[in-house]
Amino acid sequence: MPSITDLEKVQAIGLLSGFERIRPRRWRGFTTPENIRLLAERLRRLGAHLSAITCIDEGSEFVLIYHFDFDGELLNVHVRIPKAVASLPSISEIYPAADFYEREVSEMFGIVFEGARRERLLLPDDWPSGEYPLRRW
């Protein structure tokens, strides 16, 4: 299990910012879309497991939250992207389980994960193109 010192080192090299404990066994940090792949690679080497990727539509931007588990210590990494861009790199090559979460977020919100599969996961094949059930307009 990585120590908090390991995560502070990740913060020191600029991959993670605002790293803080928000309650027992729960930590939060922030990164940029440009750094999400590098951060995921570093967390993988430290032994973190990806638990989920969630998305929040905040009007003009999306907040993606990557949930990592370090043997019971949970790290939530927030990534903000403008709704007009709605694209960021996929981490599915680093964490194969990300494929499911990225496809779900893509279908529900219309976010493009660069390098990810584009196959339908949840919505029927005849679902109208450009309509995303969880996106606020």
Residue 49 identity (one-letter amino acid) = H
How does pLDDT run across 47-60, given as a tens digit for each residue? Answer: 999 999 999 999 99
Read off the tokens for 2: 């990585």
Q: What contacts 85, CB < 8 A, 6 or more positions away?
A: none
27: in domain: yes
Domain around 29:
4-88
Asked if the structure places residue 44 within a domain, the reply is: yes
Q: Can you give the pTM of this predicted structure?
A: 0.92
**Cα gap 134→137, rounded to integer Å:** 10
* 125 is a domain residue: no
Residue 94 forms part of a structural domain = no
Residues of the chain with pLDDT under 50: 1
Which positions ≥6 away from 100 have C-beta within 8 Å? 121
Domain-embedded: residue 123? no
Q: What is the pLDDT of residues 18-41, one digit of tens each?
A: 989 999 999 999 999 999 999 999
